[in-house]
Amino acid sequence: MATMNELYQGIIIEHDRSPRNFRTLDAPTHSGEGRNPLCGDEMSLQLVVDAEGVITDVGFQGRGCAVSKASSSMMTAAIKGKTVAEATELFDQFHALLTGKDADRTALGKLVAFEGLGAYPMRVKCATMGWHVLKDVVGHKS
């Protein structure tokens, strides 16, 4: 499994520099904000969910560490095109992956890269921050 430094050298720095979907949406159907209890960093998340419950667009903004930014970036890429139910299920798998439980690695795809973070429990909070906001947001239409 990757060490923290390998994680940084791999996906984290890459996504920190060029985060996907790092923008504000014009007409989101859902939006919300969250704070990382570890450091007080904040992020906001916006979604466009269509009538079938499919996430057709997603954008995030905010300040945060590279881990939370990279994780949020990869999250947005992963959930675009998925239904809300599928996205929520993916969070459960992601959470399982980071807390050393059995996880559906096929479903997780590229997100498996974060596995090594499980050895750094304090940083798990950073990696799941975007996902927690997502979970919150799908419950509240904007």
Partner 1 sequence: MLRSLDYAGSPSEPASLGMTGLREQFPILSATSRGKPLVYLDSAATTQKPQVVIDAERDFYTGWNANIHRGVYEYSERATVAYDGTRATAARFLGGVDADEIVFVRGTTEAINLVAQSFFRPRIATAGATVLVTEMEHHANIVPWQLAGATLVPIPVTDAGELDMEAATRLLAARPAMLAVMHVSNALGTINPIAELCAMARTHGVPVLIDGAQAVGHFAVDLPALGADFYCFSGHKLFGPTGTGVLWGRREHLAMMPPYQGGGDMIDLVRFEGSSFARPPERFEAGTPNIAGVIGLNAAMQWVMAQDTRAWERHDRELLELGRHLLGEIPGLRFIARPADAVGVLTFAMDGAHPHDIASILDGEGICIRAGHHCAQPLHVRFGVPSSARASFGPYTTEAEVRALATGLQKVRELFG
Binding site for partner 1 (CB under 8 A): 3-5, 8-9, 12-13, 16, 37-41, 63-67, 120-123, 126
Q: Could you tell me if residue 84 is left (phi over 0), alpha (psi between -120 and 50 degrees) or otherwise beta?
A: alpha
How far apart are CB 107 and partner 1 at their closest, in Å? 27
CA distance 12 to 70: 5
CB of 39 to partner 1, least distance (A): 5
Q: Output 23 or 116, the one with its CB closest to partner 1.
A: 116
Least distance from partner 1 to the Cβ atom of residue 18, Å: 13
Rounded to 5°, the CA angle 55-109-139 comes to 30
- Is the Cβ of residue 39 or residue 96 nearer to partner 1 in the bound state? 39
Give the C-alpha separation, 30 to 12, whole Å. Answer: 27
